[in-house]
Amino acid sequence: MTNKFLIFVVGFGLVLGQAKRDPRAVALVGSYTTIADGIFSVGYNPALLAYQKDKPFQLQVFGTDFGFAGNYISLENLNALSGDTIQQNQKDQLFRYLDNAGGLTFFTDVHLPLPLMNYSSGNMAITTNMMIMGDFKIPTGLLRFILEGNANNPSIDMTMKYEVMGVNEFGFSFAVPFDAFSFGVTAKYLQGLFYLGVDPDSSKASLETSVLAMYGSGSYLLRQGIGGSGLGLDLGFITSEVNGWRVGLSVINAVGSITWNKPSIMKDILAGSDNIYGNEDDLFHFTWGGEILNDSMAIKYTYNIDSISATSLSSDSLFTSESKLVKNIDADGKLKDFIINYPATFRIGVSKRTDDYIISSDLVAGFEDRFFAHQGWRWSVGLELHRFPAVPLRIGFAWGGSDLLELGLGFGIHKGPIMFDMGFAFRNGLWIHTMKGFNLSTGLTITGFGGRSSVKETLSGPAPPVEEQEDKPLDGSEDASEEPSVSEESLPNEQE
């Protein structure tokens, strides 16, 4: 049963999968910091909730979002490498590309908002979102070794990267409006579902080649966890709209981490009631070498290649390896914290709105290369056309970040209380033959019967209230109170 579950987790990560995402954001390639609306501002800029007070509620009925992205494999590149043999100039071009990219990488993610559990009204919102993410990297040195051998590669980095994680986000968001700007906060409870990965801080492998011999060593620390928990915090700022212009910034997951080796409700459900670490009859029963494996333990795999040369080829101990369980405890026998940091991103954006369109642009940067975050700037620009309000059309373009290039397209069908949206993005490429990944997102949301915009808006914000006027006669004559006053001098003198 253990092997089946491990295969399921690995396969699910390979097939499936920023933090929160929706169809409009996909079509606009994330140019969302200053224009996200209602529940969809959570995960981008919670301060935008301050400007939905005059709008009706918003309830997401369902949503699906699936994404995959790599940094090399595309129809165009595969076609260029096809043939009986790969030419040396093709290898050199491939290795130059992967050296700059840090290896052959893949990232997959799925976002599933829990049905009927994403709601916003006034300046507050309650949101839930399940995410399954997979982050993989094959080092360039290993690919060089496979395609070229070790003749021209005296030092090869063999460190692999592999992480799969499932998380439920439960968030409560609110915004505080002022005259010229607004602040917003999202407090999140992070419910860890599962984690399986190679610890990037404790794993390293290399292969060295000299004139006389080839030798190398490696150490991988494989961790797993079920039923983690943690807290997260998003902070946002947005200016009021002035002549259609608006500027905002946010820090998503300014604080965020998940601890995997503490008791939790999820662990009790998945690991069984007899023992929080599981028993032989449990579905999620992990064993290694006949011993029950829990998240207080890690698997440490080491190998050693000792001086392969012409004189030592007959030796039986050229390659040695060992795997063992490592207890994650301190000197007093107490469990150490096994914590996964939730990646943080910084966003800054600007937008211009008119009666017929919205154009927005964002700069986004992560603080580490992990999961949906990328340590580098990403610029995006998006255009949404409102010429036909019931069918908004969207297009976006992005440059930089982990996807390098991205083109998004999408539309919506908004009729009365029904809001259906769809978005598709070509990731790391601008068309079908050049894209190295894609993103497909759909969603159905309901709102008030009059539609989302219940108050007619102008470029400077909501229209002012209509002033009360006194009733006038139906014949069009003016009221007696509005007749010009007659001075006493104009009245006839009765004595005369």
Cα separation, 172 vs 192, in Å, equals 18
% of residues, the chain, pLDDT over 70: 72
Confidence of residue 286 (pLDDT cuts 50, 70, 90): low
User: Which residues are paired to 399 by β-bridges?
Assistant: 379, 405
pLDDT of residue 468: 46
* Dmax (CA) of the chain: 145
How do the domains of the chain map onto residue ranges?
2-461
User: Which residues are paired to 216 by β-bridges?
Assistant: 207, 305
pLDDT of residue 207: 77
Average pLDDT of span 140-159: 70
Confidence of residue 336 (pLDDT cuts 50, 70, 90): confident
The pair of structure tokens assigned to 411 is 């539309």
CA 9 from chain centre, in angstroms, equals 20
CATH number of the 2-461 domain? 2.40.160
Other CB atoms within a 10 A radius of the CB of residue 290 amount to 5
Helix (H) or strand (E) holding 105: strand 104-112
Cα separation, 276 vs 289, in Å, equals 20
Per-residue pLDDT for 481 more than 80?
A: no
Confidence of residue 266 (pLDDT cuts 50, 70, 90): low
pLDDT of residue 267: 67
Average pLDDT of span 305-321: 62
Closest CA to 62 of 128, 122, 121: 128
Cα separation, 427 vs 441, in Å, equals 13
Cα separation, 171 vs 452, in Å, equals 22
Its pTM stands at: 0.77
Residues whose CB falls within 8 Å of the CB of residue 182, separated by 6 or more in sequence, listed in order: 47, 48, 50, 51, 175, 176, 237, 238, 240
pLDDT in tens, 97-121: 777 767 788 888 899 998 889 999 9
pLDDT in tens, 339-390: 888 888 999 999 999 999 999 999 998 877 777 667 788 999 999 999 998 9
Average pLDDT of span 257-277: 65
CA 287 from chain centre, in angstroms, equals 33
Nearest-Å Rg of the Cα atoms of the chain is 30
User: Which residues are paired to 161 by β-bridges?
Assistant: 137
| Cα dihedral sign, 35-40-43-48 | positive
Per-residue pLDDT for 143 more than 50?
A: yes
Cα separation, 398 vs 427, in Å, equals 9
**Mean of per-residue pLDDT scores for the chain:** 78
Alpha-carbon distances, residue 113 vs 9, 73, 263, 444 (angstroms): 20, 30, 26, 11
Residues whose CB falls within 8 Å of the CB of residue 43, separated by 6 or more in sequence, listed in order: 18, 19, 20, 21, 127, 129, 186, 234, 252
Least confident window among 64-78, 183-197, 246-260: 64-78
The answer to whether 106 and 428 are in contact (CB under 8 A) is: no
Confidence of residue 311 (pLDDT cuts 50, 70, 90): low
Other CB atoms within a 10 A radius of the CB of residue 94 amount to 20
pLDDT of residue 35: 96
Determine the residue type at 170: F
Cα separation, 442 vs 3, in Å, equals 34
Helix (H) or strand (E) holding 310: none
Per-residue pLDDT for 463 more than 60?
A: no
Per-residue pLDDT for 151 more than 60?
A: no
pLDDT of residue 94: 76
Q: Is the pLDDT higher at 193 or at 317?
A: 193
Confidence of residue 252 (pLDDT cuts 50, 70, 90): very high
Q: What is the DSSP letter of 103?
A: S
Most confident among 2-16, 421-435, 445-459 (mean pLDDT): 421-435
Residues whose CB falls within 8 Å of the CB of residue 13, separated by 6 or more in sequence, listed in order: 108, 132, 133, 134, 164, 196
User: Which residues are paired to 363 by β-bridges?
Assistant: 348, 379
Average pLDDT of span 214-226: 81
Query: Looking up tokens 């579902």, which residue turns up?
Result: 193
